[in-house]
Amino acid sequence: MGYSKVSRGRQPQASSTEACTAAFNQTIRDKKFTAAGRQEEETRMQLSGTTTLLGLIGSPVAHSKSPAMYNYCFRKFNMDCAYLAFDVAADQVEQSVKAIKTLHMRGANVTMPFKTTVVPYMDRLTPAAETIQAVNTIVNEDGVLVGHNTDGCGYTQNLRRNGIEVAGKKITLIGCGGVGSSIAVQVALEGAAELAIFNLKDKFWPSIEERMEAIRKVAPNCVLSLHDLADQDALHAAVDHCDILSNANMVGMPPLENESNIKDPSWFRPDLIVTDVVYAPTETKMLREAKAAGCKTCGGLGMLLCQGAEAFRLYSKGLEMPIDEIQALLYD
């Protein structure tokens, strides 16, 4: 199994087969498919006996645009692969991961709520995934399942696409859940000088403290600190001190689209870079207010696309996803 090209050679067919094919193609043209629907239909028409399977594991998954995104890329690069979404129950996670080996799948993305659940079933973890004990991409390397976490890479690659490097920067991060933890370990691994993390002091606080210790071990040169988000004086001081401010919690997305973790817009200044992981809406209240103050801003859609691009690079052994094309196709 692998990345063999789909044969494009014309095969001799009986006239009745040609008639059926022509009728089917006309039906396809007559239907008013969405862009994603057209991709799905075309992908089904290209399946062969050598097609390599990839997929998405999670629940729910019906809303996901991952199948459209990856299948578009497979066609663009003439790869004999197909990507499907699998809605998996909690008691089926182990069997689902084992199926990656059994079915010789190239890999799978993992979404909520199973990013931590799949960890025990990996044969190997990358440093970022091991540090935060969360996996969102599984790659089958000749029968060895390698667990990756591309969320943090997506964040830093999106910054890079906007001319921003995290090495040597002082960063204030609001929120240290799944995505926030991924960002925290990645910026630390990529050489951030300081990282101040703010989170609500709730029942998850002890686990955040454990993650902080794990990050210190893999990135000892990054100065880490953890603060209660309720401490507005500490947050103000951190924003004044930092180069990059990043929101990584749900404030800014519905039903909190009219809220911001920065209550006083006067905290923003023109030399501050402000980022948000929220991608719907594409521009949150925090980003709007930061932009009005002259800050450079980066929304969450770029991160979403970049983490998918990193997973595609891993699956394809180095190919670059056409991010701008995917954004125009699925999100604009």
**Count of H-run helices and E-run strands, the chain:** 12, 12
Q: Identify which of 66, 275, 311, 65 has the alpha carbon closest to the alpha carbon of residue 161.
A: 275
Residue holding tokens 């578009």? Answer: 72
pLDDT for the residue numbered 8: 36
| Equal fold, 36-149+304-330 vs 152-298 | yes
* Average pLDDT of span 157-168: 97
Global pTM value: 0.82
- How distant, in Å, are the alpha carbons of 11, 59, 195 from that of 153? 44, 24, 16
Q: Categorize the per-residue pLDDT at 72 as very low, low, confident or very high, splitting at 50, 70 and 90.
A: very high
The answer to whether 248 and 179 have CB atoms below 8 angstroms apart is yes
Average pLDDT, the chain: 89
Give the contacts of 16 (CB within 8 A, at least 6 positions apart): none
51-66 per-residue burial string, b: 16 or more CB within 10 A, e: under 16: bbbbbbbbbebeeeeb
147-180 per-residue burial string, b: 16 or more CB within 10 A, e: under 16: bbbbbbbbbbbbbebeebebeebbbbbbbbebbb
The rounded distance, in Å, linking the Cα atoms of 185 and 197 is: 11
Share of the chain above pLDDT 90, in %: 83
The rounded distance, in Å, linking the Cα atoms of 139 and 114 is: 16
Tell which CATH classification among 3.40.50.720, 3.30.70.100, 3.30.450.20, 3.40.50.620 matches the domain 152-298.
3.40.50.720
The answer to whether 214 and 220 have CB atoms below 8 angstroms apart is no
Strands (DSSP E) contained in the chain are 52-58, 81-87, 107-110, 124-125, 137-141, 144-148, 170-174, 194-199, 223-228, 244-247, 273-276, 296-298
Active site residues: 115
pLDDT at residue 326 is higher than 90: yes
- Higher pLDDT: 66 or 19? It is 66
Give the total residue count for the chain: 332
pLDDT at residue 38 is higher than 70: no
- Higher pLDDT: 282 or 13? It is 282
Q: Categorize the per-residue pLDDT at 39 as very low, low, confident or very high, splitting at 50, 70 and 90.
A: low
CB neighbourhood size of 214 (10 A): 17
The answer to whether 290 and 252 have CB atoms below 8 angstroms apart is no
Q: Identify which of 168, 196, 188 has the alpha carbon closest to the alpha carbon of residue 128.
A: 188
pLDDT for the residue numbered 6: 32
pLDDT for the residue numbered 27: 41
Q: Identify which of 274, 229, 278 has the alpha carbon closest to the alpha carbon of residue 249.
A: 278
Q: Identify which of 172, 220, 216, 228 has the alpha carbon closest to the alpha carbon of residue 196.
A: 172
pLDDT for the residue numbered 162: 95
pLDDT at residue 34 is higher than 70: no
pLDDT at residue 156 is higher than 80: yes
User: Tens digit of pLDDT for each residue in 110-152?
Assistant: 998 999 999 999 999 999 999 999 999 999 999 999 999 999 9
pLDDT at residue 78 is higher than 80: yes
pLDDT at residue 243 is higher than 60: yes
The rounded distance, in Å, linking the Cα atoms of 325 and 88 is: 30
pLDDT for the residue numbered 46: 73
pLDDT for the residue numbered 313: 98
User: Tens digit of pLDDT for each residue in 310-320?
Assistant: 999 999 999 99
Domain boundaries, given as residue ranges, for the chain: 36-149+304-330, 152-298
The rounded distance, in Å, linking the Cα atoms of 292 and 295 is: 7
For the domain spanning 36-149+304-330, the CATH number is: 3.40.50.10860
* Average pLDDT of span 149-156: 96
pLDDT for the residue numbered 20: 42
Q: Categorize the per-residue pLDDT at 332 as very low, low, confident or very high, splitting at 50, 70 and 90.
A: confident
The answer to whether 72 and 19 have CB atoms below 8 angstroms apart is no
